[in-house]
Amino acid sequence: MSLITPNYEQSLYSLACGISNFLGVKRDCSSMNISGNRIVLALLDGFGWSTMRKAGIEVKEARKIHTVFPSTTATVISTLFTAMTPGEHGILGFNTYSMRLGGIVNAMRYTYPAVKERDSIKDSLSFSTAFPSLQSYLKEVNDVKTASVIPKGLEDVEFTGVTHGYVSETKTYIDFWDAFFNLEQTLQKDFKFIYFYIPDIDSLSHKYGPYSEVTLKATRDIFENLYNIAKKHTEFTFLITADHGHMTTTETILLDQIPELINKLEIPPYGDSRAVFLRTRNDIHDYLYTKFDSIRVFKKNEIPSLLGKVNDEKILPDYIMVPTDGRAYIYLFKEKDEYYKLVGHHGGLTPDEFEIPLITVNG
């Protein structure tokens, strides 16, 4: 299976640059042109291009763009609200490395991977101190009313605070119907920018697979509701997109059960199940190709092309291993963790994961 070379000129990164410019915050990046006086950024988690097509969704406003690498939510949301590449903001995967914290952390939960409690680190060190490069453009917006509509429970967490927590008003919802009700209510107010986030396609893709009947039905229902609302509210330009797609898992490989590999590393593998970041003092390039089938190994000097601009090379691992088939590579930090049971995974560079739609309605 072929892997995609990221094109940051036509990606969520360039979309983020366009939104930043639209809101009056200039970033040093090539941006997409965004027309209209008011915009809604609707992020449908897991709504990959291939998922959209297999759900039978065909709309004239859709075009194919790239996400960013690793193709995972923490990295994408960080890019969307900073207009920075992953190599600039430093949130590199579901689990990422922080020099300031001295190890691996789950950025969205701001906790160590083996710790269940969300935001367990915040009383010792703020997120902004741990990841100082992550600077949201929303913090610099002046005299513009902005809003977000997100699931209840995400409004007060550290990750939300440093990415899109600077909006003028945050609305929360408890389920599918409440989400669209809150969006409709928010559209009737005088906001110039609204961020709307729906996680359900991703959740179902992980549990049942991206092309299961339940996932595709949910995809159709969610998109139809959103598209109809967009068509009704012509005063807004709707930018409907995704953070990533999914691959159906063909085999799960537990890296924590391969001591031969772990003993060659400085710290455990991190990143994502389909973008494995490895730090080591050893030359393990040939070893990885011998040990694992159907992979592509990127050496340290090749990694910047995956991450876009890189401000500090200290954030780079020595190798990144990306599968070219449906395998998922998982390091379990917790006992009784059922992460290995997921049917759908993402993070990598296959078309199913990396190609996403950008559907511009009323633009």
3-state class (DSSP) for residue 138: helix
CATH code that applies to domain 248-345: 3.30.1360.180
Chain-centre distance for alpha carbon 80: 9
pLDDT at 335: 85
Task: Give the mean pLDDT of the chain.
Answer: 97
pLDDT at 147: 98
Q: pLDDT tens for residues 18-60?
A: 999 999 999 989 899 999 999 999 999 999 999 999 999 999 9
* H or E element at residue 238: strand 237-241
CATH code that applies to domain 8-246+351-361: 3.40.720.10
* Mean pLDDT for the stretch of residues 220-233: 98
Q: pLDDT tens for residues 97-138?
A: 999 999 999 999 999 999 999 999 999 999 999 999 999 999
* Range(s) of the chain covered by CATH 3.30.1360.180: 248-345
Chain-centre distance for alpha carbon 44: 11
Q: Are strands 319-323 and 295-299 parallel, antiparallel or unpaired?
A: antiparallel
Count of alpha carbons within 13 angstroms of residue 209, beta-carbon side: 8
* Mean pLDDT for the stretch of residues 311-330: 96
Backbone angles phi, psi at 80, to 5 degrees: -60, -30
User: Measured between alpha carbons, how far is 245 from 198 in angstroms, rounded to an integer?
Assistant: 14
* Range(s) of the chain covered by CATH 3.40.720.10: 8-246+351-361
Torsion of CA 198, 201, 205, 209, to 10 degrees: 180
DSSP 160-177: HHHHTTTSSEEEEESSHH
pLDDT at 336: 80
The answer to whether 258 and 60 are in contact (CB under 8 A) is: no
Backbone angles phi, psi at 83, to 5 degrees: 55, 40
* Mean pLDDT for the stretch of residues 246-269: 97
